[in-house]
């Protein structure tokens, strides 16, 4: 009997330990697989990291940065190593981790990048090397916000960085072959924005509530996913994911009705409900022949805390769909 009680105790402990359930507390999640393990990166102190054998049971790993990169306090005075919206990908034998440093509600921001040859913290070659700023936005100079990065390679292998939040919308800039700097001569595009009232102050971005671009190639199309409306307000969050598509990485991206995403277009993919508020800031990947939408939503049954959500994507008439009843 003692043995049975002990086993039952271990089972209950497994259920309640943080990081073991799919709805772990995360914000701005992105994922990648190395070998037989998945790695999840998300907003947090030094960039939060989780690992999993199955996309369901998660273990917390050490953060990417124990202390903030030295350059960050020059961009955001008093920066305390709370890093937003990472993006992870593998190219040229290395993992590239882009990340956001910003002052909340301002375009006082920069996107940095770090590289590693492995994601396994037990590997003797495991070491994150920071390369500093890729792109920076400055109040009064730039009408865009350098956060929420996403790396995409076009059909020729040319690297581009999509990014942006509020202000002048989602931007796309060509990167150099090293993937850590902007290519010259510079090439920039606006790929999505909301129709909005003008703004004049750094702290007042108007009603241009759009952010978190993620570009996904599928069947000859580039799909641009963005989040409309507001995150970070717990049960009152209004985030939703919309998408458009283009035959070129630089756009124009159109929604199902043909409306350009540069004029507020975007076809709904997922939004919150009575249980889950503000479903948004998504990434999308193909694992074992299936496409998965990875995002966070705010749990109304747990004080509006942001939790991890993973949903399989179906494609109907060339457009992404998820089973909204399973949110």
pLDDT by residue (tens digit) across 43-53? 999 999 999 99
Place 247 in a pLDDT band, splitting at 50, 70 and 90.
very high
pLDDT reading at 207 higher than 80: no
The pLDDT value recorded for residue 197 is 59
pTM for this prediction? 0.91
pLDDT reading at 2 higher than 90: no
pLDDT digits (tens, 9 = 90+) for 24-35: 999 999 999 999
Average pLDDT on 303-323 reads: 97
Average pLDDT on 67-94 reads: 96
Q: What span, in angstroms and rounded, lies between the C-alpha atoms of 45 and 113?
A: 16
Q: What span, in angstroms and rounded, lies between the C-alpha atoms of 310 and 114?
A: 26
pLDDT above 90: percentage of residues in the chain: 87
Average pLDDT on 291-312 reads: 97
Please, what are the domains in the chain? 25-326 (2.115.10.20)
The pLDDT value recorded for residue 111 is 98
Place 4 in a pLDDT band, splitting at 50, 70 and 90.
very low
Cα-Cα end-to-end distance for the chain:
40
Place 41 in a pLDDT band, splitting at 50, 70 and 90.
very high
Place 104 in a pLDDT band, splitting at 50, 70 and 90.
confident
pLDDT digits (tens, 9 = 90+) for 84-101: 999 999 999 999 999 999
Average pLDDT on 6-21 reads: 38
Active-site residue numbers?
28, 211
pLDDT digits (tens, 9 = 90+) for 147-203: 999 999 999 999 999 999 998 999 999 999 999 999 999 999 999 999 765 555 555
| Of the candidate ranges 12-16, 27-31, 314-318, the one whose mean pLDDT is the lowest | 12-16
The pLDDT value recorded for residue 203 is 58
More confident residue, 111 or 206: 111
| Of the candidate ranges 109-123, 198-212, 290-304, the one whose mean pLDDT is the lowest | 198-212
Is 207 in contact with 169 (CB distance < 8 Å)?
no
HSE-up of residue 272 (Cα within 13 Å, Cβ side): 29
Average pLDDT, the chain: 91
The alpha-carbon radius of gyration of the chain (Å, integer) is: 20
Place 204 in a pLDDT band, splitting at 50, 70 and 90.
low
Q: What span, in angstroms and rounded, lies between the C-alpha atoms of 65 and 140?
A: 30
Is 213 in contact with 162 (CB distance < 8 Å)?
yes
pLDDT reading at 21 higher than 80: no
The pLDDT value recorded for residue 105 is 83
Whose tokens are 């770090």? That residue is 114
Is 280 in contact with 240 (CB distance < 8 Å)?
yes
């Amino acid at each position: 009997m003692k043995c049975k009680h002990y086993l039952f105790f271990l089972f209950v402990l497994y259920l309640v330990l943080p990081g073991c359930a799919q709805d772990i507390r995360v914000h701005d999640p992105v994922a990648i697989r190395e070998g037989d393990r998945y790695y999840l990166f998300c907003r947090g102190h030094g960039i939060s990291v989780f690992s999993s054998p199955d996309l369901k049971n998660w273990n917390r790993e050490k953060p990417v940065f124990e202390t903030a990169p030295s350059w960050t306090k020059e961009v955001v005075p008093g920066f305390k190593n709370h890093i937003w919206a990472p993006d992870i990908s593998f190219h040229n034998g290395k993992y590239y981790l882009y990340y956001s440093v910003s002052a909340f509600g301002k375009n006082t921001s920069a996107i940095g990048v770090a590289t590693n040859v492995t994601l396994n913290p037990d590997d003797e070659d495991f070491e994150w090397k920071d390369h500093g700023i890729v792109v920076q936005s400055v109040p009064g100079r730039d009408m865009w916000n350098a956060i929420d990065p996403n790396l995409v390679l076009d059909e020729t292998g040319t690297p581009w960085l999509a990014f942006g939040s509020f202000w002048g919308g989602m931007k796309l800039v060509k990167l150099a072959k090293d993937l850590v700097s902007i290519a010259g001569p510079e090439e920039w595009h606006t790929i999505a924005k909301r129709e909005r009232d003008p703004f004049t102050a750094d702290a007042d971005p108007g009603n241009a509530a759009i952010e978190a671009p993620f570009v996904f190639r599928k069947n000859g199309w580039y799909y641009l996913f963005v989040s409309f409306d507001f995150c970070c307000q717990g049960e009152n969050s209004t985030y939703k994911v919309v998408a458009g598509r283009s035959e070129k990485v630089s756009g124009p991206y159109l929604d199902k009705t043909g409306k350009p995403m540069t004029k507020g277009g975007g076809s709904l993919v997922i939004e919150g409900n009575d249980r889950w508020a503000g479903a948004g800031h998504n990434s999308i990947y193909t694992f074992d022949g299936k496409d998965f939408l990875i995002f966070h939503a705010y749990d109304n049954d747990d004080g509006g805390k942001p939790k991890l959500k993973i949903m399989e994507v179906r494609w109907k008439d060339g457009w992404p769909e998820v089973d909204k009843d399973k949110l």
